[in-house]
Amino acid sequence: MATGSPPAATSASPSRPPTSILQRSAATVSPRAFTSSAITKPVPTSPITRRSFPAALDFAKRYGEDTVKTGYVADAGGVQARLPDGRISFEWHEGQIMSRHHLLVVTEAAKRHIAIDAHEPIKDTGLRRTYPNWVSREGQRGMEYNAWGVPKNPPSYDTAMIFTRMLGGPFDFTPGILSLKGKGDTAIPSTLARQLAYYVVIASPVQMAADLPENYQANPGPFQFIKDVAVDWDDTRMIDGKVGEYAVFARKERGQPTWFMGGITDETERRLTLPLSFLEAGKKYRAEIYRDGDAADFRTNPREIVIERRTVTAADTMPIRIAPGGGFAIRFVRLGR
């Protein structure tokens, strides 16, 4: 699975190596396509060091990879850095050595027109304005953490994070877990509709579909929204919300008349009546709605979802129920011109 549309292979440009089956549980997908295939060419598997990573970026550039996800899984002062005298020093993610390393990575990637999505990153301080290829980063406990974390993030973690972590800039939350299951078949505290809402509520110009392909094949209805949702926006509106309790956003797809709206809540049910005044006045839209079912609840009935369509205008309002630990996602497609 790959992000965007790779350039066509030519005699002067090797074909792009497909994603490994071992990478599929956290593979980046295009909002317009979903494909997978087996390895046909070898890819680098040895650890990437400061000396070797330029060659790794060259490899990515050569095979048309325009987005690279980096990762530094070494917590609690476990980063190993080689000092000028050859000794190994154990460092923290937020220390000067890692700060300089991240800047080196993003500047070398920029020379090759490669975007970086850093996991286990340093905090966002605004340098992405200087380096616009630093498109996103992890930096919070997302769905990947919920796969194995004990205890898992409660729904109220997300509704606080939106008003805190997201102020620093876009972040990669690894959403889209339609199985709603983590390690050892443990339940992830979310409804099915909430997994779709994350794609609208949490801003990131590169998104992941972080579940296994077979779980998307088993849920084609909800997966359709993941295929349709945009990742870059012309306009963002906060429609409703309260810090730590719930949040509803509307976002307009860049360069298109299509809008998306999504919302999540904490452990408390919400019943909202949402204005659609962000839509273009005088135009009709097809609202493709993915919402919690009437009896949905993240604790007792997380998989109940309603998928429906209706025609709306900017003069209308949208009544919506958000289940405890739930959410909703809507795509507004303009009809006619």
How far apart CA 259 and CA 329 sit, in angstroms, is 11
User: Phi first, then psi: what are they for 185, rounded to 5°?
Assistant: 65, 25
- With contact defined as beta carbons under 8 Å apart, do 213 and 36 qualify? yes
How far apart CA 166 and CA 31 sit, in angstroms, is 22
How far apart CA 231 and CA 179 sit, in angstroms, is 22
User: Phi first, then psi: what are they for 120, rounded to 5°?
Assistant: 50, 55
How far apart CA 204 and CA 171 sit, in angstroms, is 5
Q: Tell me the one-letter amino acid at 188.
A: I
Question: Is the bond preceding 151 in cis, omega lying within 30 degrees of 0?
Answer: yes
Helices (H), the chain: 53-62, 96-111, 143-148, 155-161, 192-201, 213-217, 220-228
Nearest to 172 by CA among 129, 147, 202: 202
How far apart CA 207 and CA 171 sit, in angstroms, is 9
Active-site position among 65, 138, 144, 253: 144
How far apart CA 135 and CA 131 sit, in angstroms, is 8
How far apart CA 141 and CA 172 sit, in angstroms, is 10
State yes or no: is 144 an active-site residue.
yes
Q: Which residues are catalytic?
A: 144
